[in-house]
């Protein structure tokens, strides 16, 4: 089942050069673009940036769907 664990790896822990080990990271929204969002990952130990991730609009929709969120839409049929 190690392969499944690898797939579930969503940068909750990354290698930090300063701490010289894999550290839990904090996700910070760095930049919002029309078609994607860029997240910065900060080491919780020393606070340095250890990685970045770009989430495209399609992935964001997927993430929201998996999180159980539904977009609020006032769809009234008359
Ligand atoms: Zn660190």
Q: Is the pLDDT of residue 3 over 90?
A: no
Structure tokens at 54: 């770009």
Residue 26 belongs to domain with CATH number:
2.20.25
Give a yes or no: residue 36 inside a domain: yes
pLDDT class of 5 with cuts at 50, 70, 90: very low
For 12-25, what is the mean pLDDT? 93
Spacing, Cα 16 to ligand 1 middle (Å):
5
Of 49 and 69, the structure prediction assigns the larger pLDDT to: 49
Q: Is the pLDDT of residue 73 over 50?
A: yes
How many domains is the chain partitioned into structurally? 1
For the chain, how many helices (H) and strands (E)? 2, 4
Give the count of beta carbons closer than 10 Å to the beta carbon of residue 41.
23
Strands (E) across 1-70 are located at 13-16, 21-32, 36-43, 49-56
Residues with C-beta atoms within 5 A of ion ligand 1: 16, 18-19, 23, 43, 45-46
Give a yes or no: residue 72 inside a domain: no
Give a yes or no: residue 23 inside a domain: yes
Spacing, Cα 30 to ligand 1 middle (Å):
19
Domain span including residue 25: 10-66
Kindly give the residue spans of alpha helices, DSSP state H, lying in the chain: 2-7, 57-66
């Amino acid at each position: 089942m190690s392969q499944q664990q690898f797939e579930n790896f969503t940068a909750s822990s990354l290698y930090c050069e300063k701490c010289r080990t894999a550290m839990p990271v904090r996700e910070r929204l760095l930049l919002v673009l029309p078609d994607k969002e860029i997240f910065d990952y900060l080491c919780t130990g020393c606070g340095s940036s250890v990685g970045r991730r770009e989430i495209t609009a399609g992935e964001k929709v997927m993430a929201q769907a998996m999180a159980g969120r539904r977009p609020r839409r006032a769809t009234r049929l008359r």
